[in-house]
A = this chain, B = another copy of it.
Amino acid sequence: MDILFAHNKKEGIEFIERLKGKNPGFICVIGNTETAKISGISVAGANPEITDFTPAADCELLYFGECKCIPGVPITPDGIPTPGLITMSALNLADLSKLVVIGGVRVYPQIPYVEVGGSPGSDIRTGNAVKNVKEVIGRSIILGENLADYCDKLNYLVIGESIAGGTTTTLGVLSAMGIEGKGKVSSSMPINPHKLKQEIIEEGMKSANLEFGSCKDDPIKAIECLGDPMIPACAGLVLGAGKKIPILLAGGTQMTSILAVVKKINPKILKNLAIGTTRWIIEDEQSDIKGIVDQIETIPILAVNLDFNKLKAEGLKAYEKDIAKEGVGAGGSSIAAILKNENINTDTLLVEIEKNYEILMTKK
């Protein structure tokens, strides 16, 4: 099986039937949050300060096959390469179009990108995490509507993200909205720092005078207080385009905050959504994406069945040891590539990924 029906299988099978043979657009929504720089929270970068560069570098990798704003490619402190390598391979193999949307960043990628009025996020311990949330959602809805209209509504979108610290802010938004994410959100690290994440969001809730569920009916406030700048841009895109076309949410547990926000603003959209992720997320014993989704809606979860144990490169085999796991829409873009072209499968993807890995490592 190249694509695993990881959750809500019946809906997943139906959803996939709607996407087969189509040529979707891939969107990557990027952001920075100061939350990522809290010691022990993220390995999306060789050190905490460099996490600001990771989303921009990931996007450059998709366009140029190399990064411009940093030397080499984003790596963990142990040298494990960004999941953007998987995305790049999938997009190239299937010749999918790309668009980068800025949720709010400190470091801009050296490519064309769409602005929707956002700015970088603050440390959520302040309880004052994201500015201008309503405006960003509004502008992103307009963008989503226009992307759906272009193409005679025959197509679909794959929306991924790159933001370091994003699972912690997701935990914040879920908690503020009364959805249990404690111990359930994923991590790029082999040992998921659940306790630290919980302490951070509890400090943020205290600063914002919130309790678990206080923002049950106010997703805007939940994002403003405890979210990150990726969330309003991504949710707005989904709200705008999802009225007309299917959307594959290409990410791990971070996409559950999008589901929660979208459900509260326009629940009709949910029937057009599925999560597309990696096997490493759905098999992860330290997180529980299904348990979060079940609290929101019957949304199918699909996972690309990439097995990096088949590869020679040690830097890639690490993905089988609970490192990195997902990001930059790696799982969703792989699924979209497989669905677009019947000559693409996990084997051809593995060859392409290893080839690109070797090229990048040689350059470095």
Contact = CB atoms under 8 A, between A and B. Distances in A.
A96 B149 contact: yes
B115 A139 contact: no
A249 interface: no
Interface in A108-136: 108, 110-117, 135
A125 B25 CA distance: 43
Interface string A142-153: 110111111110
B114 A151 contact: no
Nearest to A99: B146
Given A63-B142, A142-B63, A149 B112 contact: no
Interface in A69-110: 95-99, 108, 110
A155 interface: yes
A23 interface: yes
A112 B142 CA distance: 7
A151 B63 contact: no
Contacts of A23: 149-152
A334 interface: no
Given A25-B150, A150-B150, A150-B151, A111 B139 contact: yes
- Pick from A23, A108, A112 the residue with the most CB of B within 10 Å: A112
A140 interface: yes
Contacts of A63: 142
Contacts of A155: 150-151
Interface residues of A, number: 31
A277 B260 CA distance: 47
Nearest to A139: B112
Contacts of A108: 115
Nearest to A22: B152
Contacts of A147: 97
Contact of A113 (B115, B135, B145): B115
A97 B150 contact: yes
A111 B142 contact: yes
A143 B25 contact: no
Given A95-B149, A142-B63, A149-B97, A112 B114 contact: yes
A114 B114 contact: yes
Given A23-B152, A151-B151, A146 B115 contact: no
A115 B115 contact: yes
A92 to B, nearest CB: 12
B112 A140 contact: yes
23 contacts: A23-B149, A23-B151, A23-B152, A63-B142, A95-B149, A96-B149, A97-B145, A97-B147, A97-B149, A97-B150, A98-B146, A99-B150, A108-B115, A110-B135, A110-B139, A111-B139, A112-B116, A112-B139, A112-B140, A112-B142, A113-B114, A151-B151, A151-B155
Given A97-B146, A112-B140, A151-B155, 16 more contacts: A23-B151, A23-B152, A25-B150, A63-B142, A97-B145, A97-B147, A98-B146, A108-B115, A110-B135, A110-B139, A112-B139, A112-B142, A112-B143, A113-B114, A113-B115, A150-B150
